């Protein structure tokens, strides 16, 4: 009981702070100085039509590298947590439960409609994901969004065809190569242009065309592949018990 009262008290105090915040809030009528700088100088400096992309990939590129690292660590953590250790000397009870879990895992197959729809739609979903990360510098979207769409395609596949095999080795290779290339591009920025992850190692190109904004499309391709495969690996981990190393 006393716990409940404390919780309510904490929430009430927080609500009071929030109420004050909301009551004194007034919409901004102009950009903050930093936002103003990005809006004025961004197109000329970076050459990306999507200013959010310019901020994410170039101005705050180091943050994005950190973000990719966090995602990688969390994917590795999920892999570690869900690894099925072969416990020989375990409780009979737990073993029995595990077996029940496994038989529950091999549920009845998806309906024919779902399977056919998956075969039809899966290539399109994947293609859309690639489209989203290739056009990240021009339109809403980018590497993370495109990667999430690719992972949703994987989800689709796992729901419709639960027995389908996803090569862990292929996922690991693509993921590490993309991550490595991303860092290499960043280092090239130090050597050839203004600093780490500077996108001007390549020509800025025609503003607003697909091959523009220097290295941003390249970086987003690597980020998209990395995120897509990483999230696919996470989904695969949640599907069922570990089937082997890698």
Taking the least distance from each CB to another protein, the nearer of 11 and 124 is 11
Is the C-alpha dihedral spanning 10, 14, 19, 24 positive or negative?
positive
Q: Among 138, 128, 126, which Cα is nearest to 217's?
A: 138
Q: Report in angstroms how near the CB of residue 198 gets to another protein at its nearest.
A: 17
What's the number of CA atoms in the CB half-sphere (13 Å) around residue 112?
0
Residues 12, 15, 17, CA angle at the centre, nearest 5°? 115
**Cβ at position 18, least distance to another protein in Å:** 4
| Contacting residues toward another protein, per CB under 8 A | 4, 7, 10-11, 14-15, 18, 21-22, 25-32, 34-36, 38-40, 42-43, 49-52, 54-56, 60, 63-64, 67, 70-71, 73-75, 77-78, 81-82, 94, 97-98, 101, 138-140, 142, 144, 208, 227, 231, 234, 237-238
> From CA 212, how far away is CA 204, in angstroms rounded?
5
Q: CA angle 94-236-217, nearest 5°?
A: 155
Query: Residue 91 or 119: which CB sits closer to another protein?
Result: 91
In whole angstroms, the minimum distance from the beta carbon of 161 to another protein comes to 22
- Residue closer to another protein by CB (options 12, 113) is 12
Q: Between 2 and 191, name the residue whose CB sits nearer to another protein.
A: 2
Q: How distant, in Å, are the alpha carbons of 6, 7, 8, 9 from that of 2?
A: 6, 9, 10, 10
Provide, rounded to whole angstroms, the least separation between the CB of residue 77 and another protein: 5
């Amino acid at each position: 009981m006393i716990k409940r009262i404390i919780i309510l008290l904490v929430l009430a105090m927080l609500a009071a702070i929030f109420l004050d915040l909301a009551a004194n809030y007034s919409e901004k009528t102009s950009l903050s100085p930093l936002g103003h700088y990005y809006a004025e100088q961004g197109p000329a400096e970076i050459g990306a039509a999507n200013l959010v992309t310019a901020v994410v990939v170039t101005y705050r590129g180091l943050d994005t590298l950190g973000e990719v690292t966090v995602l990688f660590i969390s994917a590795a953590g999920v892999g570690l947590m869900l690894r099925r250790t072969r416990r020989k000397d375990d409780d009979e009870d737990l073993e029995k439960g595990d077996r029940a879990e496994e038989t529950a895992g091999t549920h009845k197959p998806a309906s024919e409609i779902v399977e056919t729809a998956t075969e039809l739609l899966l290539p399109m979903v994947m293609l859309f994901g690639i489209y989203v990360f290739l056009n990240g510098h021009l339109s809403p979207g980018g590497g993370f969004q495109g990667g999430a769409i690719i992972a949703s395609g994987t989800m689709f596949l796992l729901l419709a065809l639960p027995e389908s095999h996803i090569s862990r080795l292929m996922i690991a290779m693509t993921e590490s190569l993309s991550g490595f290339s991303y860092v290499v591009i960043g280092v090239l920025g130090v050597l050839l242009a203004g600093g780490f992850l500077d996108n001007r190692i390549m020509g800025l190109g025609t503003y607003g065309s697909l091959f523009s904004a220097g290295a941003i499309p390249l970086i987003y391709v690597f980020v998209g592949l990395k995120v897509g495969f990483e999230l696919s690996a996470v989904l695969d981990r949640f599907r069922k018990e570990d089937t082997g190393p890698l």
